[in-house]
A and B are shown apart, each in its own frame.
Chain A
Amino acid sequence: MAKGVLVDITRCMGCKACQVACKQWNDLPSSNPEFKDGLTSPPEMDGYNYTTVFIEVVEDKKNNDYTIRSAKRQCMHCEHPACASACFAKALQRDPKTGAVVYYPHLCVGCRYCMLACPFDIPKYEWDKQFPLVAKCQFCFDPKGKYDRLGYGLKPACVDTCPTGALKFGERDELLKEAWQRINSDPKYIKHVMGEKEAGGTAWLYISDVPFTTFGFRPNLGTQPLPEYSHNFLKWTPIIAVGWGTLLTVLYHYTKRRQKVASESNKDVHM
């Protein structure tokens, strides 16, 4: 059964403990603070930040008031990951047991197609390095063991450290039930679970009382798994290769023969 995390944006207080825990567990280097709107730091995820807590001021038009909301973003660990289907060297693979989409650096060529394919703009690149690698949240799953938590039955570092219960780790389908329970029992929630169906469904699920676009989710994310678009194209490849090759061979012999017949009957054929 695939695991998941439920993010309840209404319960997040923006303490960034998850961000710190992620850095510590994954041995990621620190950097000089840089802020967006004086609140969010670092302003974006990058090659050395797998997760960022985005803090936004949201206008409440009904009460003519402002509220602050915060939410962490990281890899959504899609059930049908576009990045993994886009990778031509299998450097990104989804672990069917945990649902974690894991990066295998030794297979990576560095083409960065995954970065463009991801509908959540997650994979980042170590631009400053001589031989850069792709960087993204691994769901604290590491088949090699060093950075593994999920494999040992532990929660991801970020969830483990969250002091308010804004992050909840568990079985994805159970979390989904709980998400809808919370939504239906409290009218403040938007009637939508981000990640339930987006791009075919993701392991990380978000519920919120402010629009999801506040935290950079694309408004037009479809529900069709993105790998299907590539598959619908690639499935024609063998048919076209064989069919076109055969047609060309036939045409080659036909036109050549026609030319030969024409020249034998002493017609002036310009070659």
Chain B
Amino acid sequence: MSANKGLLKEIAEYKWRFTMTTTRKILLMLAGLGVACMIFRLATGLGMATNLNDKWPWGLWIGLDVLTGVALAGGGYGTAIIVHVLHRGKYHPIARSAMLTSLLGYLLVMAGLFMDIGQWFNFWRPFVSWGHTSVLFEVFWCVSCYTTVQVLEFGEILTEKVGTKYHNAFKKALPVLMIVGIVFPTLHQSSLGALYLIMVDKLYPLWWSPYLGLFFLISSFFVGPAMICVETGLAGRAFKHEVPIHVLRGLVRISGVFMVLYLALKIYDLSNRGVFNLVFKGNLEGNMFVLELLLGVIIPIIIAFSSMSSTRKGLITFGVLVSGGLILNRMNVVFTGMSASLGGWYFPSIMEWAVSIGLISIGVLAYCFIAENFNILDHDEHHHKATA
């Protein structure tokens, strides 16, 4: 043991890198502003910092940071299925970056949730007081457990550089963690949608559906590759690292298959409930619904199965459209679909925006830091190099 360095000493002696660029300086500023607003909110309460009210108890933080954030972070479990369970080795180059995005996404979701709860010192309560009839109970447990699992999964990457003596233990635990780490998100991606099942008389019929959970699940799965396209597009520029087109194209096609399934289920569901005519009614809800499906699903399907997906431009367009469509979908469920029944007025306050933007900036900075210091983008699974 004495030959081994202490873990803290090893962390202290490791040569950490963090390159300063203009973008990163701006991000740091936004992150600082966000943190300041978060402290203000925790100290003063929700009324001072937000525009939430009795008619609109859930706003930007739940809609964007939680519902959308979790879905966009869904790339992790989708990739885990393809790479680590089905052993499709071709997709290995994107596995780690997808999982890192996912981990950071979940940490931010937890932070966003923490901001949104009124009695924040009471956050642990559902661990002991089991409101098991609530869909939110499933969301809470699964998100907590999955974040823990992801941190442990990241341990395998972390111990390549620091705390190397624990590396083998993490490596051994990985297959079990992977499978547990797929079951949890499968459950709670769908339960996030199912949160709205109880609002049967409030959510506009274009979005309320007995299959709401399934829709959220499928869309979180197919948005994964889209996020990877966007992310590798950005990371490629920042870190001069390019993922081969055929790898991305393969993923985009898997995504496309699930989008066709999603579209078919949507059409079946709408006609089954007899509300198909609402789609072309020309009102706000109908138009937003058309926009969401057209830009976020139908056009991307065309891109995925045409020659467009063999160019980087096409892949990034696909990524932007699908991710954008998903954000629109979640916003429609939280805001557009509820506005007629809730009435009143809500637009996020400057502080709500600042916190959301701050959290995203923190995420991007953390990604850059980790990508610079650990084997995320370039790692060779054949030889298990300890250093790169």
A85 to B135, CA, bound (A): 9
- A152 contacts the other chain (Cβ, under 8 Å)? no
Of the candidates A88, A226, A249, the one whose C-beta lies within 8 Å of that of B179 is A249
Distance to closest chain A CB from B253 (angstroms): 18
Task: Let me know if B118 is at the binding interface, CB within 8 A.
Answer: yes
For A, the interface residue count at a CB cutoff of 8 angstroms equals 62
Chain B residue nearest in CB terms to A93: B131
Residues of B with C-beta under 8 A to A109: 117-119, 122-123, 125-126
Contact A270 B89 (CB under 8 A): yes
Q: Does residue A197 face the partner (Cβ distance < 8 Å to B)?
A: no
Q: Do A129 and B57 have beta carbons less than 8 Å apart?
A: no
Q: Shortest CB–CB separation between residue B119 and chain A, in angstroms? A: 4
**Residues on A with beta carbons closer than 8 Å to the beta carbon of B87:** 252, 255-256, 258-259, 271
- Indicate whether A269 sits within 8 Å of B89 (C-beta atoms), given known contacts A112-B57, A252-B175: yes
Are A127 and B53 CB-contacts (below 8 A) given A110-B122, A112-B118?
Answer: yes
> Given A82-B198, A108-B119, A116-B199, do A130 and B131 touch, yes or no (CB 8 Å)?
no
**How big is chain B's contact interface, by range?**
35 or more
Contact partner of B138 (CB less than 8 A), chosen from A46, A237, A255, A259, is A237
Q: Determine whether A128 belongs to the interface, using a CB cutoff of 8 Å to chain B.
A: yes
Contact B187 A90 (CB under 8 A): no
B186 contacts the other chain (Cβ, under 8 Å)?
A: yes
**Given known A218-B341, A255-B86, contact A248–B81 (CB-CB < 8 A):** yes
B179 touches A107 (CB 8 A): no
Given the known A-B contacts A108-B122, A237-B138, A240-B187, are A251 and B86 also in contact in the complex, defined by CB atoms under 8 Å?
A: yes
User: Is A89 in contact with chain B by the CB < 8 A criterion?
Assistant: yes
Assess the A116–B58 pair: CB atoms within 8 A. Answer: yes
Instruction: Answer yes or no: A117 CB below 8 A from chain B CBs.
Output: yes
A129–B48 Cα gap in the complex (Å)?
A: 9
Report chain A residues within 8 Å CB of B125: 89, 107-109
Q: Would you call A24 an interface residue if the criterion is a C-beta within 8 Å of the partner chain's C-beta atoms?
A: no
Return chain B residues, CB-CB under 8 Å to A85. 133-134, 198
* Contact between B133 and A132, CB atoms less than 8 A apart: no
Residues of A within 8 A of B48 (CB): 128
CB B73 to nearest CB in A, in angstroms, measures 19
Q: Is the CB of B134 within 8 A of A87?
A: yes
| Contact between chains at B183 and A248 (CB < 8 Å) | yes
Which chain B residue shows the least CB distance to A226?
Answer: B198
In the assembled complex, the CB of A247 is this many whole angstroms from the nearest CB of chain B, namely: 9
- Tell me the complex Cα distance, A86–B134, Å: 4
Contacts of B126 in A (CB 8 A): 88-89, 109
Chain A residues 73 to 132 lying within 8 A of chain B, measured CB to CB, are 82, 84-91, 107-113, 115-117, 119, 121, 124-125, 127-132
Q: Which residue of B lies closest to A255 (CB)?
A: B87
**Closest chain A residue, CB of each to CB of B50:** A127
A270 touches B90 (CB 8 A): yes
Least CB distance from B198 to A in Å reads 5
> Most chain-B Cβ atoms within 10 A of its Cβ — which of A90, A125, A233?
A233
> Quick check: B131 and A110 within 8 Å, CB to CB?
no
- Complex CA distance for A129 and B118, rounded to whole angstroms: 9
Q: Tell me which of B43, B116, B132, B200 has the highest count of chain A C-beta atoms within 10 A of its own C-beta.
A: B200
Q: How far is the CA of A116 from the CA of B131 in the complex (A)?
A: 16
Per-position contact with A for B22-59: 1 when CB-CB < 8 Å, else 0? 00000000000000000000011111100011110110
Looking at B43, B47, B191, which has the most chain A CB atoms within 10 Å of its CB?
Answer: B47
List residues of chain B with CB under 8 Å of any chain A CB: 43-48, 52-55, 57-58, 81, 84-87, 89-90, 92, 116-123, 125-126, 129-140, 175, 178-180, 182-183, 186-187, 190-191, 194-195, 197-202, 210, 213, 341, 381-382
**7 tightest CB-CB pairs across the interface, nearest first?**
A110-B118, A127-B47, A112-B57, A271-B89, A88-B137, A110-B119, A88-B131
Q: List 9 A-B contacts (CB under 8 A).
A: A85-B133, A91-B131, A112-B58, A116-B199, A127-B52, A132-B119, A233-B194, A248-B182, A258-B87
Instruction: Give chain A's interface residues, CB within 8 Å of chain B.
Output: 44-47, 82, 84-91, 107-113, 115-117, 119, 121, 124-125, 127-133, 218, 220-222, 226-227, 229-234, 237, 240-241, 244-245, 248-249, 251-252, 255-256, 258-259, 269-271
